[in-house]
């Protein structure tokens, strides 16, 4: 079953060309999909549209079969999200922030308490759980974001650059957690520029370029394309070939040479 | 959900209380409380209204941060407005009480407790329409693509004007009837109208903005 269906999204900011020009893709249940693209290609705008944070010129978004509008809020109970601008309130502690998200998702008090304790332990935040988030390091803040996004075991998990600032050990633990969530049916959409991690994790790839999905394929197809390009497994090479064919390295600034 | 938003705002207030603002307005209004030309408790009321006015200037935070968090979460907008509005009223009540106590300490003891009660009830009656106007101004501000240079000043003036206009019926009622029950009934009516009509209207205004092409957080 399709958890998230994005169809023909068109979005233009005033005075610019269309940043999204008919973006369409599906997120099947239990899949981990990477949404890749260059800076400014529209990845975050796509995520904002899914979360109802921006209006669209046209296009539809359906969550678990129900078409959504920016002002509808009920569908957001099924979604967990990590955005570049975090969804926690930094005057709260990590514990209070996670509990708040649990309450907003109407988890029973006992379940919320148990899951919060487990998440704090998993993300090594137990020792600082009562301190305000604003005192945390950027990596710890990111962990709080991920914890608040998964507390309710969402049907759809949207992660915008989830590994930025997170140490390798924690990142590896999160990879395992995400794989487990996918096997339990959660559809995961992830954006990241860390291609090694993305390739280890994702089963599907959507490459956004020029306002459209220019490549939509499975992990096996990425490997086949890489082989065709003379590379063993390189997602990077497939990506470069797609967004900048025949690419040459730019010469560094002359004052540095 | 209203309770959750109220609790969230209360925690924010505890974490970041506006002591500086409150101290400044109490000190600034203290001479008025000593003046024979002003009703004894009105300066305290002015303190409360100032704190509320300041809070309402930024009911939804800056356009790209707080409102984005609230919209991205599964929250009913009506609940958000009620929760934030109630906390604003509580802040105003705290400010008025603290100012009243400080002013009373400065001016010496008074047995005019009925005047204090009428002032407090007048304040409660004034709050709902003021919160409503503040919310609408805040929504209007965040729904503009970019704020003008004069916008903050215009919002301050409009909110102060609204406070004065909203306070007139309560002051008239207090000074003409001297009736605490009448003023309490007026406060209850004012609050219930805001909760049922005003807050829903503000939520609908937010929804209309979210359906418009200009909507982008």
Checking if the pLDDT of B150 tops 70, the result is no
Task: Identify the top-confidence range among B35-44, B58-67, B124-133, B136-145.
Answer: B124-133
State yes or no: pLDDT of B174 exceeds 60. Answer: yes
Is A76 close to B74, i.e. CB distance below 8 A?
Answer: yes
Tokens linked to B81: 């407005």
Mean pLDDT of chain B: 79
Ramachandran category for residue A69: left, alpha or beta (phi over 0 → left; psi -120 to 50 → alpha): beta
Q: Strand order in A66-67's β-sheet?
A: A18-28, A2-12, A58-63, A66-67
**Residue B88 near residue B134, CB atoms below 8 Å:** yes
pLDDT at B145: 66
Residue with the bigger pLDDT between B111 and B102: it is: B102
Q: Which has the closest alpha carbon to A208: A22, A83, A79, A15?
A: A22
* Count of domains forming chain B: 1
Rg of chain A, C-alpha, whole Å: 19
Q: Which of A204-208, A218-222, B165-169, B188-192 has the highest mean pLDDT?
A: A204-208
Picking from B74, B212, B216, the nearest residue to A74 by CB comes out as B74
Q: What percent of chain B has pLDDT over 70?
A: 85
A57 shares contact with chain B (CB less than 8 Å): yes
Residue B76 has pLDDT above 90, yes or no: no
Q: Would the CA dihedral through B8, B9, B10, B15 be positive or negative? A: positive
The shortest CB-CB distance from A81 to any of B16, B72, B212 is to: B72
Instruction: Give the pLDDT band (50/70/90) at residue B176.
Output: confident
Q: Which of B8, B73, B216 sits opposite A87 (nearest CB)?
A: B73
d(C-alpha B80, C-alpha A3), whole Å: 28
pLDDT band at B104 (very low <50, low <70, confident <90, very high): confident
Nearest CA-CA distance, residue B1 and chain A, Å: 7
Contact between chains at B72 and A14 (C-beta distance less than 8 A): no
| Predicted structure pTM score | 0.84
Q: For B155-184, what is the mean pLDDT?
A: 77
pLDDT of residue B64: 55
Q: Taking CB atoms and an 8 Å limit, are A52 and B210 in contact across chains?
A: yes
Mean pLDDT by 10 residues, chain A (257 residues): 93 84 94 93 92 90 87 86 87 93 92 96 93 92 94 95 88 93 95 89 92 89 79 76 81 85
B131 part of a folded domain: yes
With CA atoms as reference, the chain A residue closest to B16 would be: A91
Is residue B216 domain-resident? no
**pLDDT digit string (tens) for B120-141?**
788 888 888 888 888 888 888 7
Is position B63 within any domain?
yes
Does residue B187 fall inside a structural domain?
Answer: yes
The pLDDT value given to residue B146: 65
pLDDT at B103: 79
Range of the domain at B159: 2-211
Q: Check CB contact of B11 with chain A, cutoff 8 Å.
A: yes
Give me the percent of chain B exceeding a pLDDT of 90.
1
Examine residue B217 and state whether it is found in any structural domain, yes or no: no
pLDDT of residue A121: 94
Please give the pLDDT value at position A231.
64
What is the CB neighbour count within 10 angstroms for residue B52? 26
Rounded-to-integer distance, Cα A205 and Cα A199, Å: 9
Is B171 contained in some domain? yes
pLDDT band at B111 (very low <50, low <70, confident <90, very high): low
**Least CB–CB distance from A85: residue in B68, B206, B211:** B68
Backbone phi, then psi, for A196, in 5-degree steps?
-60, -50
User: What does the pLDDT read at residue B109?
Assistant: 66
Q: Which value does ipTM take for this structure?
A: 0.81
Query: For residue B71, which residues of chain A lie inside 8 Å, CB to CB?
Result: 51-53, 70
Q: Name the H helices within chain A.
A: 43-50, 94-104, 109-122, 138-150, 168-183, 195-201, 219-228, 235-243
Tokens of A208: 């956004």
Rounded distance between C-alpha atoms, residue A237 and residue A225, angstroms: 9
Lowest mean pLDDT among A114-123, B19-28, B79-88: B19-28
Cα–Cα dist A25/A147, whole Å? 26
Residue A29 has a pLDDT of: 94
* Residue with the larger pLDDT of the pair B94 and B115: B94
H and E: helices and strands count for chain B: 9, 0
* Fold of the A2-89+154-244 domain: Rossmann fold (3.40.50)
Residue B66 pLDDT exceeds 90: no
Asked if residue B38 has pLDDT above 90, the reply is no
Token pair for A221:
């197809």
């Amino acid at each position: 079953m399709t958890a998230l269906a994005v169809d023909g999204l068109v979005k233009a900011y005033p005075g610019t060309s269309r940043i999204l020009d008919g973006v369409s893709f599906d997120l099947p249940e239990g899949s981990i999909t990477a949404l890749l693209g260059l800076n400014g290609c529209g990845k975050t705008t796509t995520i904002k549209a899914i979360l109802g944070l921006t209006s669209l010129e046209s296009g539809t978004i359906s969550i678990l079969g129900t078409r959504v509008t920016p002002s509808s809020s009920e569908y957001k109970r099924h979604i967990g999200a990590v955005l570049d601008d975090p969804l926690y309130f930094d005057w709260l502690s990590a514990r209070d922030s996670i509990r708040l998200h649990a309450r907003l998702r109407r988890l029973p008090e006992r379940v919320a308490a148990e899951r919060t304790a487990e998440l704090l332990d998993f993300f090594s935040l137990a020792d600082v759980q009562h301190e305000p988030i604003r005192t945390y390091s950027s990596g710890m803040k990111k962990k709080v974001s991920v914890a608040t996004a998964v507390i309710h075991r969402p049907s759809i998990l949207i992660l915008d650059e989830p590994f930025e600032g997170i140490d390798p050990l924690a990142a590896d633990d999160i990879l395992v957690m995400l794989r487990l969530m996918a096997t339990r049916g959660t559809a995961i959409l992830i954006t990241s520029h860390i291609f090694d991690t993305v390739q280890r994790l994702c089963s599907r790839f959507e490459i956004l370029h020029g306002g459209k999905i220019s490549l939509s394929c499975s992990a096996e197809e990425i490997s086949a394309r890489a082989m065709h390009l003379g590379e063993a497994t390189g997602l990077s090479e497939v990506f470069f070939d797609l967004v900048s064919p025949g690419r040459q390295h730019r010469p560094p600034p002359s004052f540095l040479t | 959900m209203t309770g959750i938003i109220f609790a969230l705002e209360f925690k924010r207030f505890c974490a970041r209380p506006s002591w500086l603002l409150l101290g400044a307005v109490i000190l600034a209004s203290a001479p008025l409380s000593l003046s024979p030309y002003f009703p004894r408790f009105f300066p305290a009321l002015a303190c409360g209204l100032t704190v509320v006015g300041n809070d309402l200037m930024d009911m939804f935070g800056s356009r790209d941060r707080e409102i984005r968090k609230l919209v991205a979460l599964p929250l009913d907008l009506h609940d958000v407005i009620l929760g934030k509005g109630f906390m604003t009223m509580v802040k105003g009540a705290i400010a008025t009480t603290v100012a009243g106590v400080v002013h009373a300490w400065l001016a010496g003891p008074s047995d005019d407790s009925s005047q204090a009660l009428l002032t407090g009830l007048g304040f409660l009656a004034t709050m709902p329409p003021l919160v409503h106007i503040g919310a609408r101004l805040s929504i209007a501000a965040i729904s503009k693509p970019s704020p003008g240079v004069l916008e903050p000043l215009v919002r301050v003036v409009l909110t102060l004007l609204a406070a004065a206009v909203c306070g007139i019926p309560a002051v008239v009622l207090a000074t003409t009837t001297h009736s605490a029950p009448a003023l309490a009934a007026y406060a209850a009516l004012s609050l219930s109208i805001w909760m049922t009509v005003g807050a829903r209207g503000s939520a609908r205004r937010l929804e209309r903005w979210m359906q418009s092409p200009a909507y982008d957080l």
